[in-house]
Structure 1
Amino acid sequence: MSTAMTYGGHVRAVALLGLPLVGGHLAQFAIGLTDTMMLGWYGVEELAAVTLAGSCFFVLFLTGAGFGLAVMPMVATANAEGDETSARRVTRMGLWLSLFYAAAVMPLLWGSEPILRLMGQGPRVAADAAQYLRLAGWGLFPALLVMVLKSYLAALERTQVVLWITVLAALANALANYALIFGNWGLPELGIRGAAIASVCTHLVSLAAVVLYVLRRLPAQELFRRLWRPDWEMFARVFRLGVPIGITSLTEVSLFAASSVMMGWLGTAPLAAHGIALQLSSATFMVHLGLSNAATVRAGNAYGRRDRAHMARGAAVVTAMSLAMSALTIALFLTLPVPMLSLFLAPDDPERAQILLIGSALLAAAALFQLVDGAQVVALGLLRGVQDTGVPMAIAGLAYWGVGLPASYGLGFGLGLGGVGIWLGLAAGLVVAGVLLMGRFWGRGLARAGR
């Protein structure tokens, strides 16, 4: 594209590419949301367990998704350079690395109960969470493969299909949850085990759909031809880019997982309230994540063409769009906390009033970090587009483990602020990440496009 594209042109281009990605992330999020809502209707103990288990699964998933996320800028750059062979090689080795990673971490999911007990969780919650993870863990294999293939398609700007495949998966998950959690349509009532089985089935449906699309609509790419053959040079390149991305994701998501563990120390009701508030704040984060993915693709294309002016203007536009979404979210969290929290609770739940009280305070804390949460993930997307992942990894480690984690513990337990203190600590980590990552892109990251 021309460097003379107007700001309005950039808005249209980001919207065309990014809105389907936003929708896809929201549909993907709906899978976890459905588990949380239906298990919330089923029982508070089960809701607390799936909150804990979901956080642990998400830590491992996002770490392994680093290889899929590495595929996106690499394919986008290769596509801008007209190099179809490199795009194919990158994607194949992304699939290899994802399978190796899933096999390596599966024992952690299978033997999670004693780990959760060592982390201070109650016997019932730890047992239920481990039961979920032993079943849901098998879904890690198809889920990571889907991440690679979605990144490949997004880099080729085929984002509409990414959206519709994810919507299909979300619908399949809702139906399977309804049947297996509650024992509807003649099936057994499996509770939390039903939610885990439904999640695995959903990931398999997604994988089948995306593979079928690639085979039928992109046969000339020959993506799966000789998939079994190693390509060690490209394997190493994807590994070098993907590992820092995975570790960066690990630092952030492990902070939120640690917050779930700390909330579990406060009791079942605080953990359940935390789970609901986390789901609501995660829903809004999906919008920023979709914009971040669009930023990665467009920055990757500009990087391949060495078009610095185009990248700078596009980066300003996607950042402004993220800030606008943050402003809307803040308004919703501060004005409508109870109606949103009530969606996850049965009207006659004996702990409903306590969960609503705690959850409203947590959403007020969440409103504090909306602006910087969007800023940090958009900055990461831009930096990945120019294949700058090492320094962002270090920044994330400092922000989330060096600032966020000790601040959450200190405010929550040292100063006795409880759940609100834990969430204020999350905000502190996100502030540091947002400021430093944005500074990195506008300082060093943008300069890489001019080389």
Structure 2
Amino acid sequence: MDDSGFAWEQGPWRELIRLALPTALSSLSYSLMTLTDTLFLARVGAAPLAGIALGGTASFVLLSFWFGLFRATKTLVAQARGAGRDSDARAHAGLGILTASAAGAVGILLGHGVAALLPHLAGSAEAGALAADYLRTVSYGAPMVLLTVVLGEVRLGAGDAVTPFRAALAGNALNLVLAWVLIFPLGLGVVGAALATVIANTVETCWLASVQAREGVAFRAVRREHFGRLWRLGLPSGVQVLLELGAYGLLAAMIAPLGAVPLAAHQLVAQLLRLLGLPVIAIAESAAVLVGQGVGAGRWALVRRVASRAFALNGLITLGVAFALWGAGPALAAAATQDTEVRALAARLLGLGALVQLAGGANAVAGAVLRGTGDATVPALLGIATAWLGAPLLMWLLGYRLGWGAMGGWLGMLIENGVCASYLTARIWNGGWRAAGSTRSAPSA
């Protein structure tokens, strides 16, 4: 990097928005496919919707460690680019691809093993059988899912948000068409939804791989130090995502015995909020890229500057989403499902979900900024602790003991996100990240 600094240094707003707009879709492409399947199956009935809730959650949990680990790839590529070490960036890309391929093969085996257990967790035999069918089928796409994730992280780390966006757009458009055909005209139900997702993920992976191949991937340049950096930075995030999604999976498993209606409403609201949260995730991941570039170049003052802009954008978006949910929650629930019981419970959960969205947005931005600096361990430990002491515990206390049902678990999610967001934001501003991760070897400010 030359002495004049980054082109975006005096105007982080524009760069955040430039990266965030395409990242809004590409960062959660797999979730969007699951949302499409969820909305289609909501038209079929409560049992298929409950089946994809349980099977889809299990699929996310099984791959979640790698989702977290590969966040480090984005940070390492961004820091290497910021420091002018393009060869290191290509080596991290190669290591990510090799790791994703091996992990995907293991994911197929784990998916089939866990599928045999799902019928014992569901509230009805039909929902349990459908959940097992969905997981067995969708697990064949595990290698493609992980390759899509790691290639997307490499492109984002290089400041290229357009390629992941285009690939995700193509994959999701294909999934939309295939899911409709396979679920309705062909009558394949949850298996059809899973097949559509596998095929669409394969197309998305091929798109990303073709672009990355033109820029170059240095498989032979991978050294022990690249492996060490990936795991030092990625392991805390990987464990965090695994255990946080494990806690979320436990919450779904705790709701399942209450019946198909509570589980279906929980799945419907969770997927809708994940869609509405796309802009927040995009801002958070874009901030991580800019912070990573700044730290790689030794420009530590950019951390707070980028963070402040990211928090401001996040606040505007999440407040708007919250007001929309409070005003239009019942209408959204009515549009999503024809089941009157599911509709009524989903409308109540959406009201509480608006508050979860506010706290979760701030938590996502703070965590991403810290990951961009290389500070991953402390945020991960806090996230793990609050995830397991939040939703599952309050689901037991309020949902079971006091009879609040799924509402108890969602209140727990609100509390855990609020606690994390408060602490991590303070850590950014008091400079606690300076003693962590890659900044240990950085020059003093």
The TM-score range, normalised by the shorter chain, is: over 0.9
Matched, 1:240 2:228: no
Matched, 1:296 2:294: no
Which residue matches 1:349?
Answer: none
Given the alignment, which residue of 56, 59, 66 partners 1:57?
59
Q: CA deviation at 1:450?
A: 6.3
Q: Which amino acid in the other structure matches residue 235 of structure 1? A: F
Does the Cα contact within 8 Å between 1:407 and 1:428 map onto a contact in 2? no
CA RMSD of aligned residues (A): 2.1
Which residue matches 2:323?
Answer: 331
Which residue matches 1:359?
Answer: 346
Matched, 1:205 2:203: yes
Matched, 1:196 2:194: yes
Distance 1:276 1:308 in 2: 42
Q: CA deviation at 1:242?
A: 1.6
Does the Cα contact within 8 Å between 1:26 and 1:287 map onto a contact in 2? no
Distance 2:422 2:257 in 1: 31
Q: CA deviation at 1:190?
A: 1.2
| CA 1:129–1:287: 2 relative to 1, 3 Å | same
Q: CA deviation at 1:163?
A: 0.8
String of CA shifts for 1:310-355, please: whole Å, max 9, x gaps.
2211110001111111101110111101221123224xxxxx2211
SS of equivalent residue, structure 1 residue 157: coil
Q: CA deviation at 1:149?
A: 0.8
Distance 1:407 1:439 in 2: 26
Q: CA deviation at 1:277?
A: 0.8
Q: Which amino acid in the other structure matches residue 278 of structure 1? A: A
Matched, 1:249 2:218: no
Which residue matches 2:396?
Answer: 409
Which residue matches 2:383?
Answer: 396
String of CA shifts for 1:381-429, please: whole Å, max 9, x gaps.
1111111111111111111113332122211112221121121111122
Tell me the TM-score normalized by structure 2: 0.92
String of CA shifts for 1:254-305, please: whole Å, max 9, x gaps.
2322222222121111111111111111112222111111011000011011
SS of equivalent residue, structure 1 residue 420: helix
Q: Which amino acid in the other structure matches residue 411 of structure 1? A: L
| CA 1:359–1:248: 2 relative to 1, 3 Å | same
Distance 1:28 1:288 in 2: 16
SS of equivalent residue, structure 1 residue 369: helix
Sequence identity (%):
27
| CA 1:27–1:144: 2 relative to 1, 3 Å | closer
Distance 1:116 1:62 in 2: 18
Distance 1:342 1:205 in 2: 33
Distance 1:440 1:226 in 2: 36
Distance 1:430 1:28 in 2: 23
Does the Cα contact within 8 Å between 1:67 and 1:98 map onto a contact in 2? no
Which residue matches 2:22?
Answer: 20
Which residue matches 1:435?
Answer: 422
Give the alignment of 1:45-444 within 5 angstroms: 45-119=47-121, 121-183=123-185, 188-216=186-214, 218=215, 222-223=216-217, 226=219, 231-346=223-338, 352-443=339-430, 444=432
Distance 1:263 1:27 in 2: 26
Distance 1:400 1:179 in 2: 38
What are the ranges of 5 or more consecutive residues in structure 2 without an aligned counterpart?
none
Does the Cα contact within 8 Å between 2:30 and 2:145 map onto a contact in 1? no
Distance 1:254 1:146 in 2: 22
Tell me the TM-score normalized by structure 1: 0.91
Q: CA deviation at 1:232?
A: 3.3
Distance 2:204 2:9 in 1: 37
Does the Cα contact within 8 Å between 2:370 and 2:376 map onto a contact in 1? yes
Q: Which amino acid in the other structure matches residue 433 of structure 2? A: G
Does the Cα contact within 8 Å between 2:391 and 2:409 map onto a contact in 1? no
Per mean C-alpha deviation after superposition, the further-off stretch among 401-410 and 375-384 is 401-410
Does the Cα contact within 8 Å between 2:119 and 2:127 map onto a contact in 1? no
String of CA shifts for 1:4-37, please: whole Å, max 9, x gaps.
9788x22111101111111323654331111001
Q: CA deviation at 1:66?
A: 2.3
SS of equivalent residue, structure 1 residue 82: coil
Per mean C-alpha deviation after superposition, the further-off stretch among 116-125 and 317-326 is 116-125
Distance 1:211 1:34 in 2: 25
Structure 1 runs (4+) deviating above 4 angstroms are 1-7, 446-450
